[in-house]
Amino acid sequence: MVSFQWLFICFLLFAIGDVLGVLTKAKLSSVFVALMLFLVGFLTGIFPADIIAQARLSQLGGWAAAYTIFHMGTSINLGELKREWKTVLLSVISMLIVIAAVLLTIPVIGKEAAIVSIPIVNGGIVATQIMTEAALEKGFALAAALGTIVYAVQKFVGTPPASFCGLKEAEAVLTEYRADKEAYLKKIGRSQEQLAGVKPGFADKYKKYFTDFTCLGVTGFFAYMSYVLQDWTNGAVSYSIWALVFGATIGHFKLVPKNIMAHAKCSGLLSVALFASIIPSLATIKVEDLAGLSIQTVVVFVATLAVIFLVMYLTPVWKLVGSKHLAVGISMAQLLGFPATFLIANEVATAASKNEDEKEIVLQKIMPAYVVAGFASVTSISIIIAGIFANML
């Protein structure tokens, strides 16, 4: 009885976020709204800290990431994935920009606080663990506390600009697409003539066999293999990278349907599960923590956002990806990571598009850039940066 009550509350908050996101055409991010509603519920004591566990979503959130990454991979081919090297390069540049921006705040927040904050702004939970543990070992308890708060609120900081810039990019893409569909499709290598000349693949020929359960079984196998390979490489290559490569490769050769979990009618449930992996960290935020460390936190993020916007809009760095809005969105990915980047890209595409064809056009432009940027920064590079800065304390 109680579990169904909290499950309903969780679904209700997700629904409110989606409705407001669609009504405002993603000007008000559905991800931001949902996270804020949960945070308010935790701070006021309306929601128990373990609401996700009580709603029995914890286990679902534990395996959803690998399934979703493989699913996302099936929507992009190897050629598109190779082209994302510019996204990776821009991600690295944006991380260096953040390092410089936060170092500039040392006169205001102190050296230790800045050093602890940098890898956390660049990354996620792993970088946070590395830096807070290092700070505590060196006796910098206040800096460690700041790191925890920075990690807890960074998604609130990164979501609005990532959503806003994604929406602007989507509007630009759709304006071009609606003006001349054939010319736009030809530009991205998907003209009607080219599509007509493409031979149907294995998944097309045997479409009737790819039932809901078949798609779940195939996805489950590759999710499992992603973890196996992560273990074989001793964690040097994350399961998320393996799942993305598997999805892109299998999708490229048309061995499975595109957007395989949507084909299995499970994509909505997976989105809920991804939220379930984010929300528990919000329950750790206390009002007194926010109040006591608010000035330092504000200084860190004001400096971060200001320098990113200045560099991306006033220098030619954005030309790497061909758009100032997309460049800022990619830069925000380090504050978000997966699954937030996936959720925001999907939200933007849904809000900006009038039909499924338009949604697909937007997703092809935004989804790979946002998700790959999140992987590059949060999953990989931030951990290296954390190792370097931990030794600087």
CA angle 79, 85, 87 (to 5 degrees): 115
Tell me which of 382 and 164 has the higher pLDDT: 164
pLDDT for the residue 195: 44
Say how far apart CA 143 and CA 136 lie, in whole Å.
8
Q: What is the pLDDT of residue 380?
A: 67
Q: For 326-352, write each residue's pLDDT tens digit.
A: 999 999 998 887 778 888 888 888 888
Domain count, the chain: 1
What is the SS3 string spanning 300-366?
HHHHHHHHHHHHHHHCHHHHHCCCHHHHHHHHHHHHHCCCHHHHHHHHHHHHHCCCHHHHHHHHHHH
CB 165 within 8 A of CB 343: no
**Residue of 167, 133, 120 whose CA lies nearest to 297:** 120
Token readout for 35 is: 């996270």
Average pLDDT in the 195-217 region?
A: 78
> How many residues in total does the chain contain?
393
Torsions phi, psi for 47 (to 5 deg): -105, 140
Closest alpha carbon to 115 in 126, 127, 125? 127
Residue with tokens 């195939």: 218
Q: What is the pLDDT of residue 197?
A: 47
Structure confidence at residue 327 (pLDDT): 93
**Measured between alpha carbons, how far is 50 from 52 in angstroms, rounded to an integer?**
5
pLDDT tens digits along 251-302: 888 888 887 887 888 877 877 777 776 677 667 667 766 666 678 888 999 9
Rounded to 5°, angle at Cα 11 from 120 and 51: 60
Nearest to 240 by CA among 250, 230, 254: 230
In a domain, 174, yes or no: yes
Query: Residue 305: what pLDDT?
Result: 94
In this prediction, residue 190 carries a pLDDT of: 58
Q: What is the pLDDT of residues 80-131, one digit of tens each?
A: 556 678 888 999 999 999 999 999 999 988 888 899 888 888 887 667 767 8
Structural domain contains residue 16:
no
27 occurs within a structural domain: no
Positive or negative, the Cα torsion across 325, 328, 332, 337? positive
User: 319 is in which domain, residue-wise?
Assistant: 63-266+278-390
Per the model's pLDDT, the better-predicted residue between 78 and 63 turns out to be 63
Quick one: pLDDT at residue 107? Answer: 92
Q: At what angle do helices 324-336 and 340-352 cross, to 10 degrees?
A: 140
- Whether 317 maps to a domain, the answer reads yes
- Give the tens place of pLDDT for each residue, 141-192: 778 777 777 877 788 888 889 989 989 988 888 888 888 777 777 776 654 5
Token pair 């308010």 is at which residue?
40
pLDDT value of position 357:
82
Give residue-wise pLDDT tens across range 300-329.
Answer: 999 999 999 999 989 999 988 888 999 999
Summary mean pLDDT of the chain? 82
pLDDT of residue 193: 45
Residue 138 resides in a domain: yes
pLDDT attached to residue 386 = 81
| Helix (H/G/I), strand (E/B), else coil: 207 | helix
Q: What is the pLDDT of residues 39-62, one digit of tens each?
A: 888 888 899 988 888 888 877 766
Whether 319 maps to a domain, the answer reads yes
| pLDDT the model gives residue 25 | 66
Asked if the structure places residue 43 within a domain, the reply is: no
- pLDDT band, very low/low/confident/very high, at 219 (cuts 50, 70, 90): very high
Whether residue 192 contacts residue 202, with contact meaning beta carbons closer than 8 Å, is answered with no
Identify whether 175 is part of a domain.
yes
